[in-house]
């Protein structure tokens, strides 16, 4: 198994090298069309409401943000050239790049930042990213209609904007890297803040959107990054069934395809010509089992520990879900786990699991139901869990439910034992612990109804700690407490898997949402 791990590490390093250096090793060529197939419609192309990964990736092509993510999930300045944070962590001064132009040709200034952030916070916009700027001073008053502007956002001059927060927020620059906080030109926004047409500063300009069919973008010749992008055009094809995407990829009509199911991956792996075109990068999520302590037998810590010890994560990740995952031993997505430097909790030990179960008063196991959303990977994983738990006498009935019902059941805290995908948009531990485990998120995303005041206090403190080393230490302590309490059994890190034709170079796959950037992509033909 060590050899396998070593092999995976080597492959990952090679792939990262391939993707980041590939573009530099050869001289990029201009021209060509990037065809991007989605299994659904993007729905809306308003970046302030871009909540699904598809919308986010498409939004990133047309819009820029003050900050952005790199391929390792780190946040880097984007439209901001430099910035300072006041010693108390409350005031951010952003110096904007000069000469950045909107697709209309107008130069972007600090006023546009203020306009964009106020539009995002205006209830009339009905933006799904409405809460992103909650930590900004005066945001609530503005959103409630008590103030005409967000007082904490101050335009100093054309290229300087100051943002004051209510309390320190360690994730603030990360929030400004989300597509939700895109800078939009007022030319594309209506009187009542409704979205009319995409006017951004991104590397591609909007040409046409035919709902449910396609979205066409063209190269932005005035893009602020000199010489970029290389591609002439992007065509986003909507509603393309995954089986058809596969055929299009196999026939060379698509140079890039996101792989969402083990079956697709296996089909490609079975073809010796295509096998090497599969790329698996750390993804933005971790798969977990939620165990709600309000329901017996999950009220017993020994039971939760037993389940944790009973799961063969390597088999689950490499075999059951067909290599779409990587075994997980910590409660964050893969890149965050590595960044914070967390130890591994709970190995695979059936005997220990059995002993714990007996200690809890269930020497012969028990019967339970595992609720899972109708999704191929999650269903497969649940069946794997079912087999593992049968080994220690726990008889699991897998109950697959449709997504809306699943969301309702889980959010209401009605599920004793569930399978959940824990996603992080901005690759930060705060999102995971605050949104999915803080006691204030019940009912809601804290679907295991986890409650530990000590954990809550550490997570709250971490959010206000701007120094990363200090902050990560708080998360390590919080993770220790949480893993001991075991409201979850972590299963595997979900990979971002894609198939990429060798002639497509320079695409960037990131462990965040957005997960795909094509600014530096080019076609070697």
Partner 1 sequence: MQRYVIKRLLIAVPTIIGITLAAFILMYILPGDPVAILMGDVLDMRTMEMLREQLGLNDPLYVQYYRFISNALRRDFGKSYQTKRLVNDIISSALAYTGKLTLAAYIISIVVGIPAGVFAAVKHNSWGDTGTMVLSMLGICLPPFVVALLLLYVFAFRLAWFPLGGTGSFAHMILPAVTLGIRPAAMLARITRSGMLEVLRQDYVRTARAKGLSQRVVLTRHALKNCLIPVITVMGGQIGGLLSGSVVVESIFSWPGIGKVSVEAILARDFPVVQAVVLLSALVVVGINLLVDLSYAFVDPRIRYE
**Which residues here bind partner 1, judged by CB under 8 A?**
40-41, 43-44, 46, 49, 51-52, 123-124, 126, 128, 130-131, 134, 143, 194-195, 211-213, 237-241, 243-244, 247-248, 250-251, 253, 402-405, 407-409, 411, 421-423, 425, 435, 441, 444-445
CB atoms within 10 A of CB 471: 21
Q: What's the CA gap between 290 and 109, in Å, rounded?
A: 46
Quick one: three-class SS letters along 434-455? HHHCCHHHCCCCCCCCCCCHHH
Nearer to partner 1, 1 or 404 (CB): 404
Q: Are 327 and 317 in contact, with CB atoms under 8 Å apart?
A: yes
**Least distance to partner 1 from the beta carbon of 475, Å?**
20
**Least distance to partner 1 from the beta carbon of 182, Å?**
16
**Least distance to partner 1 from the beta carbon of 375, Å?**
12
| Cis-peptide into 10, omega within 30 deg | no
How far is the CA of 94 from the CAs of 108, 136, 149, 300, in angstroms? 14, 14, 19, 50
Hey, which residues does 157 pair with through a beta bridge?
160
**Least distance to partner 1 from the beta carbon of 370, Å?**
18
Nearer to partner 1, 55 or 205 (CB): 55
The token duo for 363 is: 């020497």
**Least distance to partner 1 from the beta carbon of 144, Å?**
10
Nearer to partner 1, 35 or 485 (CB): 35
Nearer to partner 1, 49 or 465 (CB): 49
Nearer to partner 1, 10 or 147 (CB): 147
Pairing state of beta strands 395-401 and 367-373?
Answer: parallel
**Least distance to partner 1 from the beta carbon of 210, Å?**
8
Nearer to partner 1, 130 or 492 (CB): 130
CB atoms within 10 A of CB 133: 28
Q: What's the CA gap between 507 and 496, in Å, rounded?
A: 13
Nearer to partner 1, 347 or 444 (CB): 444
**Least distance to partner 1 from the beta carbon of 1, Å?**
32
**Least distance to partner 1 from the beta carbon of 45, Å?**
9
CB environment 1-39: b (16+ within 10 A), e (fewer) = eeeeeeeeeeebeebbeebeebbeeeebeeebebbbbbb
Nearer to partner 1, 20 or 407 (CB): 407
Q: What's the CA gap between 184 and 181, in Å, rounded?
A: 9
Nearer to partner 1, 13 or 210 (CB): 210
Q: What's the CA gap between 140 and 147, in Å, rounded?
A: 9
**Least distance to partner 1 from the beta carbon of 496, Å?**
16
Q: At which residue do the structure tokens 């020497």 appear?
A: 363
473 membership: H or E segment, kind and range: helix 468-485
**Least distance to partner 1 from the beta carbon of 5, Å?**
29
Q: Are 185 and 106 in contact, with CB atoms under 8 Å apart?
A: yes
Q: At which residue do the structure tokens 């804290």 appear?
A: 446
Nearer to partner 1, 47 or 229 (CB): 47
* Residue among 49, 50, 35, 56 at smallest CA distance from 214: 35
Nearer to partner 1, 129 or 322 (CB): 129
How far is the CA of 258 from the CAs of 23, 35, 132, 475, 496, in angstroms? 20, 12, 28, 32, 8
**Least distance to partner 1 from the beta carbon of 52, Å?**
7
Torsion angles phi and psi, residue 486, rounded to 5? 55, 55
The token duo for 231 is: 């591609």
**Least distance to partner 1 from the beta carbon of 130, Å?**
4
Torsion of Cα atoms, 99 then 102 then 105 then 107, to 10°: -40
* Residue among 89, 22, 5 at smallest CA distance from 521: 22
Q: At which residue do the structure tokens 């209506």 appear?
A: 190
Torsion angles phi and psi, residue 152, rounded to 5? -75, -10
Nearer to partner 1, 130 or 223 (CB): 130
Nearer to partner 1, 246 or 306 (CB): 246
**Least distance to partner 1 from the beta carbon of 251, Å?**
6
């Amino acid at each position: 198994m060590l050899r396998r791990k070593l092999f995976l590490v080597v492959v990952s390093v090679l792939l990262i090298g391939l993707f980041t250096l590939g573009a530099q090793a050869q001289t990029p060529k201009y021209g060509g069309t990037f065809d991007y197939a989605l299994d659904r419609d993007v729905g809306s192309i308003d970046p302030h409401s871009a909540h699904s990964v598809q919308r986010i990736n498409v939004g990133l092509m047309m819009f820029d943000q003050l900050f952005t993510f790199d391929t390792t999930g780190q946040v880097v300045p984007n439209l901001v050239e430099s910035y300072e944070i006041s010693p108390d962590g409350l005031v951010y001064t952003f110096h904007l790049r000069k000469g950045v132009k909107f697709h209309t040709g107008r130069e972007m200034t600090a006023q546009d930042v203020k306009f964009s952030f106020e539009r995002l916070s205006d209830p009339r916009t009905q933006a799904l990213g409405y809460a992103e700027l909650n930590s900004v001073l005066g945001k609530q008053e503005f959103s409630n209609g008590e103030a005409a502007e967000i007082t904490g956002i101050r335009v100093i001059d054309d290229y300087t904007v100051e943002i004051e927060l209510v309390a320190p927020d360690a994730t603030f620059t990360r929030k400004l890297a989300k597509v939700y906080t895109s800078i939009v030109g007022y030319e594309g926004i209506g009187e009542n803040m409704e979205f009319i047409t995409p006017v951004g500063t991104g590397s591609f300009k909007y040409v046409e959107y035919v709902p449910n069919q396609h979205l066409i973008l063209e190269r932005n010749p005035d893009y602020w990054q000199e010489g970029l992008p290389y591609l002439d055009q992007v065509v986003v094809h909507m509603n393309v069934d995954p089986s058809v995407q596969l055929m299009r990829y196999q026939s060379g009509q698509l140079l890039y395809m996101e792989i969402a199911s083990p079956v697709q991956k296996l089909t490609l792996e079975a073809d010796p010509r295509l096998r090497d075109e599969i790329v698996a990068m750390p993804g933005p999520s971790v798969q977990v089992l939620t165990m709600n302590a309000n329901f017996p037998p999950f009220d017993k810590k020994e039971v939760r520990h037993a389940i944790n010890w009973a799961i063969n994560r390597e088999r689950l990740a490499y075999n059951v879900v067909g290599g779409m995952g990587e075994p997980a031993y910590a409660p964050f997505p893969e890149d965050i786990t590595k960044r914070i430097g967390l130890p591994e909790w709970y190995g695979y030990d059936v005997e220990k699991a059995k002993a714990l179960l007996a200690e809890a008063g269930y020497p012969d196991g028990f019967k339970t139901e595992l609720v899972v959303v109708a999704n191929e990977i999650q269903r497969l994983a649940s069946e794997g869990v079912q087999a593992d738990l049968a080994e220690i006498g726990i008889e699991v009935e897998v109950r697959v439910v449709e997504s809306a019902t699943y969301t309702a059941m889980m959010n209401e805290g009605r599920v004793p034992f569930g399978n959940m995908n824990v996603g992080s948009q901005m690759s930060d531990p705060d999102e995971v612990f605050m949104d999915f485990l803080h006691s204030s998120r019940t009912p809601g995303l804290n679907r295991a109804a986890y409650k530990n005041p000590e954990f809550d206090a550490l997570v709250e403190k971490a959010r206000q700690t701007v120094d990363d080393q200090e902050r990560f230490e708080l998360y390590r302590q919080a993770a220790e407490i949480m893993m001991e309490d075991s409201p979850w059994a972590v299963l595997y890190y979900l990979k971002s898997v894609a198939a990429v034709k060798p002639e497509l170079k320079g695409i960037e796959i990131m462990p965040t949402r957005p997960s795909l950037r094509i600014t530096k992509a080019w076609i070697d033909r």
